[in-house]
Every structure is written in C-alpha cells, then in structure tokens.
C-alpha cells in the first residue's frame, strides 16, 4: 500500500528489528467474534430495502400506478369537467359565428329571397315555384347545419306573428290564381317560414334588399318583397354601399388598383350588387377590364 522508505530512514537498526516484531504481530491478528454478525446483516438488509430505488418496475407500470391514485383520479375528473365546459362554451360561441358566416349565403340568396317574398305577397304560381327551390338550395348548400339546427327549434310563434304582420300589410290586388294552391305552395310556405326566421335574425340582409340595394331587387324585377322587413326593422346602410362609393371615387381619379380591390370585395359581399352597380358603371368597368 505504501512504501516504507520514508519510515525506514527514520528507523535505527534497533527499531528495524522491532518493526519486524510488530509486522509479525499483524499475522497473528485476532479474528473478530461472530457475535453481532447476524445482527449487522439483518440491519444491512433493512437498510438496503429502504435504499432500494423504485426503478425495478417499468415506467409505464409506475405511471399507471400513479394515475390510479385517488388524487390523480380526482384531478383527472376535474380536468374532464372543466374541459367539457370549455368545449361546450366554445360550441355556443361558434353558433353566432356560423350564423354570421351564413350572412354571405343569405346575401347571395338575397334575390331569390326577394322572389320568395314576392311569392308570399302574390301567390302567383310562377314566382313562388321558381323562388322556393332556389332559396333552399342556397341556404342548405352553405349553412346546412345552422338551418337544420334551427329547424329543430320550436318555432311556432314567430311565423304566426309574421303572418299576422303580413296580413296587416296592404295586399296586392287579387290575381286570377290567388286562391288556388299550386303544387309548389308547400315548398314556398316552408321557404317563407325560413325566410321569415332569417329576416328576424339578420336585419342587415333585410335592410340591404330594401334601401341600398333596391336597384338590385329592381334588376331582378322583384320589389314588393322587401317591404315587409322594412316595416319591421330599423334601416341601416348595407355594407356594400360605402364600398361602391369608394370604387366610384377611385374610378374617378383613375386609381384602378383600388377600384379592382374594392370591386372584388363588393363581388364577394354581394354578387348581385356587383353585377348591378359595379360592372354597369363605365368608369369602374374600364378599370376592371
């Protein structure tokens, strides 16, 4: 283990001989008694068990064991409940968003809705038969979940009120086929109900058909239909109107880039207005070419 040179230097011959004695003593070292050995080993085993790391089990088993503990189960339950509440609340907020997204759909279907309104006011077979299917197609194509959800709601009162209001309105002169119920009348009536409901929910659409986009309605040849919502809803300018003015102004100063951008926005918002009021203006049309 060590070299004894440093010690040997300090030892005189007498001590060297004595060293051989004590080194000889080492050979005669006494064996310790066996007493206490078993106790030591027992204590060592207990301590070893206490020190033994818990890594003998695989991680997934330890993880599972941890997960099934009551506190973890309670925490998981709380997480599920909170998560469910969050999901439900988000779903509730999504419904108005979806209905907002259906604005475009309804605007696209504004002219058919107008026709539908005309069909409601004057039950001449040709108008109602043509309008109802087109409205339903436009509605169900883009916003089917909303419509179906609404159709599930109880809505007995609203159509009745609307019908009463409609009754109060001045009726157009009776036509030869006024009393006759055409085959398409069922569809038209359904369309009237949905249209009424949407008119109640979506004021801008109804307004748009009356004031700002009156020309669009005129272009389709249906004007009378928009009188009903006008009577019930406060008037507000349609969203396309400022854009049209902006496009006209830009066309006057020959800023075709703005004209194109604005015209595109108008087209996306209301294709009928786009066709009726944007493309028809020569200054704008020049820029769009």
Partner 1 sequence: MFNDTADEDLMVMYQKGEVRAFEVLLSRHRKPVYNFILRFVGDKETAEDLLQEAFMRVIKGAEAYKRQAKFTTWLYTIARNLCVDQTRRRKHRKHASLDAPMDSSEESGTLMDVIPSNEMASDRKSVNKQLHETMQRAIAALSDEQREVFLMREFLDMPFKQIADVVGVPENTVKSRMRYALEKLRLELDEYKDLAKVVTL
Contact 207, 235 (CB under 8 A): yes
The yes or no reply on residue 28 touching partner 1 (CB under 8 A) is yes
Nearer to partner 1, 30 or 157 (CB): 30
**d(C-alpha 89, C-alpha 67), whole Å:** 28
Candidate list 25, 38, 97, 257; residue touching partner 1; CB under 8 A: 25
For residues 49-78, which are near partner 1 according to CB under 8 A? 49, 51-53
User: For residue 271, how many other CB atoms are within 10 A of its CB?
Assistant: 17
Nearest-approach distance from CB 64 to partner 1, in angstroms:
23
Nearest-approach distance from CB 66 to partner 1, in angstroms:
21
**d(C-alpha 129, C-alpha 184), whole Å:** 5
For residues 160-219, which are near partner 1 according to CB under 8 A? none
Nearer to partner 1, 30 or 97 (CB): 30
The yes or no reply on residue 19 touching partner 1 (CB under 8 A) is yes
Nearer to partner 1, 48 or 157 (CB): 48
Nearer to partner 1, 10 or 257 (CB): 10
Contact 247, 259 (CB under 8 A): yes
User: For residue 229, how many other CB atoms are within 10 A of its CB?
Assistant: 24
Nearer to partner 1, 52 or 93 (CB): 52
| Burial call 200-221: b when 16+ CB within 10 Å, e when fewer | bbbebbbbbbbebbeebbebbe
Size of the site for partner 1 (CB under 8 A): 40
Nearer to partner 1, 42 or 80 (CB): 42
Nearer to partner 1, 29 or 168 (CB): 29
**d(C-alpha 217, C-alpha 210), whole Å:** 8
Which of 123, 228, 114, 122 has its CA nearest to residue 165?
228
Which span sits near partner 1 by CB under 8 A: 3-11, 115-123, 180-188, 198-206? Answer: 3-11
Q: Is the dihedral of CA 120, 124, 127, 132 positive or negative?
A: positive
**d(C-alpha 206, C-alpha 5), whole Å:** 113
For residues 30-49, which are near partner 1 according to CB under 8 A? 30-33, 35-37, 39-41, 43-45, 47-49
Candidate list 23, 81, 169, 180; residue touching partner 1; CB under 8 A: 23
Nearest-approach distance from CB 57 to partner 1, in angstroms:
14
Nearest-approach distance from CB 62 to partner 1, in angstroms:
17
H helices within the chain, ranges in order?
5-10, 13-27, 37-51, 59-67, 70-108, 110-121, 125-152, 157-168, 185-201, 203-210, 214-220, 227-232, 240-252, 256-269, 271-273, 282-288
Nearer to partner 1, 47 or 69 (CB): 47
Candidate list 29, 93, 168, 173; residue touching partner 1; CB under 8 A: 29
Interacting residues with partner 1 (CB under 8 A): 1-2, 6-7, 10-12, 14-15, 17-26, 28-33, 35-37, 39-41, 43-45, 47-49, 51-53
């Amino acid at each position: 283990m060590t070299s004894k040179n440093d010690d040997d230097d300090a030892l005189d011959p007498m001590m060297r001989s004595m060293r051989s004695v004590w080194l000889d003593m080492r050979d005669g070292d006494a064996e310790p008694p066996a007493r206490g050995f078993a106790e030591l080993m027992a204590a060592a085993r207990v301590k070893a068990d206490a020190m033994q790391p818990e890594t003998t089990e695989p991680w997934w088993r330890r993880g599972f064991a941890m997960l099934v503990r009551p506190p973890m189960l309670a925490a998981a339950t709380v997480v599920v409940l909170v998560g469910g509440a969050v999901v439900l609340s988000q779903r509730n907020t999504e419904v108005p968003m979806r209905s907002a997204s259906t604005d475009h759909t309804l605007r696209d279907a504004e002219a058919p809705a107008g026709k539908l309104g005309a069909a409601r006011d004057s039950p001449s077979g040709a108008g109602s038969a043509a309008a109802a299917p087109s409205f339903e197609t436009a509605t169900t194509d883009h916003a089917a979940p909303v419509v179906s959800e609404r159709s599930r709601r109880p809505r007995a009162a609203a159509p009745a009120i609307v019908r009463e209001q409609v009754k109060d309105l001045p009726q157009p002169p009776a036509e030869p086929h006024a009393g006759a119920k055409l085959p398409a009348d069922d569809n038209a009536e359904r369309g009237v109900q949905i249209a009424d409901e949407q008119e109640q929910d979506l004021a801008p659409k109804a307004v748009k058909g009356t004031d700002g986009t009156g020309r669009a309605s005129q272009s389709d040849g249906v004007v009378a239909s928009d009188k009903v919502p006008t009577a019930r809803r406060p008037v507000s300018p349609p969203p396309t109107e400022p854009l049209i003015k902006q496009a006209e102004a830009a066309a006057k100063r020959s800023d075709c880039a703005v004209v194109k951008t604005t015209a595109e926005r108008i087209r996306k918002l209301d294709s009928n207005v786009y066709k009726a009021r944007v493309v028809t203006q020569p200054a704008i049309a020049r820029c769009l070419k």
